[in-house]
A and B are shown apart, each in its own frame.
Chain A
């Protein structure tokens, strides 16, 4: 069957040369993926749920002090440290999309996966944050994404609902997915176009072209996690 050929390996490239740290990706992700806010106190306890962390580092001493910004989300590791520790197989590897899945209805909230994640990309629903969103603010919740309950772990999914949607549209029209057709919410919002998403097995895709850059590196490469998120080092003074 034609539709079974080449599902693709999804990859994300973030160009730190262009990232301005504006946080549009963080907000876009939250609005797309029904990520609830937790309030000031819980946020202070480090319980905020955003799937993208805008990490900021300072280097140097005043006046030669400079920041670098780096958006970090789930790196969708090829060999993910979170997967083998889950006792209920809620954290599994998707063979068809080549990403890490979090199956909410299996998760029992042991939080082993979050403890084992070197990128601090996993977020835990300590309370029923999403279910406590007051009427009518819950109207904007995206029907394509599960609203998570208390006691469930969650993380970046590479906007798998958009991947499915794109593949489904292409299949319905009897064609292959066009590069750039499937966009993650963060990529779509990024005003600097610093985020590129696409199929890494297609040598002509934008993401593959970006991956040929000499500036590329992955986070904590020495752990051998084989992340599918690649960063392009800033060309100036900053950017990892």
Chain B
């Protein structure tokens, strides 16, 4: 007669535990992977077309020149141009825009370049110092919806800060410049 196994040695316990580990680890890895992917957007906005047709970034994201956030354009601003564009009536993506405008709803964009709560970023000094938009946001002529830059972490920020003039280093490396 076989002695009954202690509960932790029973196969089903071990299989379940193993599966749990896989699910949890898989969730973690998947979560990290997803955070590096462009999120689902309500409208597949073609940045490449708009930038390619010569519209400056600051036309739609004017906040970058005066304040902390670049901002998303209001649907009024989209509509200002698009109501005069013939394609608006034919393209299925632009029909979505037309629907939002018609219902007076705001478009639920998902921000891509989002900083965690403990990081305070301000566009203005960067724009004023002559940093171009594509330095941090990538070449928008090659993207439709905005895509995140891989590994855009604190080291990435400091890498650029350390290349500035020596006398700026005290301020640019100060923790309180971004974290408060």
Q: Is B180 an interface residue (CB 8 A)?
A: yes
Judge whether B176 and A147 touch: CB under 8 Å.
Answer: no
Which A residues lie within 8 Å of B122 (CB)?
164, 168
Q: Is A213 an interface residue (CB 8 A)?
A: no
Within 8 A of B (CB), among A126-171: 144-147, 157, 160-161, 164, 168, 171
Q: Is A95 an interface residue (CB 8 A)?
A: yes
User: C-beta contact mask, A79-106 vs B, less than 8 Å → 1, else 0?
Assistant: 0000000000000101111010101110
Q: Is A110 an interface residue (CB 8 A)?
A: no
Shortest CB-to-CB span from B111 to chain A, Å, is 14
A161, B176: Cα distance in complex, Å = 9
Residue of B nearest to A90 (CB): B175
Q: Is B40 an interface residue (CB 8 A)?
A: no
Judge whether B117 and A147 touch: CB under 8 Å.
Answer: yes
Which A residues lie within 8 Å of B176 (CB)?
94, 96-97, 99, 101, 157, 160, 164
Which B residues lie within 8 Å of A226 (CB)?
none
Q: Is B167 an interface residue (CB 8 A)?
A: yes
Q: Contact check: which of A7, A146, A157 meets B118 at CB < 8 Å?
A: A146
Q: Interface residue count for B (Cβ, 8 Å)? A: 20
A199, B57: Cα distance in complex, Å = 38
Which A residues lie within 8 Å of B120 (CB)?
144, 161, 164
Given the known interface contacts A104-B118, A168-B124, A168-B125, the answer about A160 and B174 at a Cβ–Cβ threshold of 8 Å is no
Which A residues lie within 8 Å of B175 (CB)?
92, 94, 101, 103
Q: Is B171 an interface residue (CB 8 A)?
A: yes
A110, B157: Cα distance in complex, Å = 28
A101, B170: Cα distance in complex, Å = 14
Given the known interface contacts A104-B118, A157-B180, the answer about A4 and B174 at a Cβ–Cβ threshold of 8 Å is no
Q: Is B105 an interface residue (CB 8 A)?
A: no
Judge whether A146 and B174 touch: CB under 8 Å.
Answer: no
Residue of B nearest to A89 (CB): B175
Which B residues lie within 8 Å of A161 (CB)?
120, 180
Q: Is B66 an interface residue (CB 8 A)?
A: yes
Q: Is A1 an interface residue (CB 8 A)?
A: yes
Judge whether A146 and B165 touch: CB under 8 Å.
Answer: no
Task: Give 15 pairs: A residue, B residue, CB < 8 Å, sorted on A.
Answer: A1-B167, A4-B167, A94-B176, A95-B170, A95-B174, A96-B174, A99-B176, A101-B176, A101-B180, A147-B117, A157-B176, A160-B176, A164-B176, A171-B125, A171-B128
Q: Chain A interface (Cβ within 8 Å of chain B)?
A: 1, 4, 7, 92, 94-97, 99, 101, 103-105, 144-147, 157, 160-161, 164, 168, 171-172
Report the 8 A-B pairs with minimum CB-CB distance, sorted nearest first. Answer: A96-B171, A146-B118, A96-B174, A160-B180, A105-B118, A95-B170, A103-B175, A94-B176
Q: A104-B179, A157-B180, A168-B122 are in contact. List 11 more A-B contacts (CB 8 A).
A: A7-B171, A94-B174, A95-B174, A96-B177, A101-B176, A105-B116, A105-B118, A147-B117, A161-B180, A164-B177, A172-B124
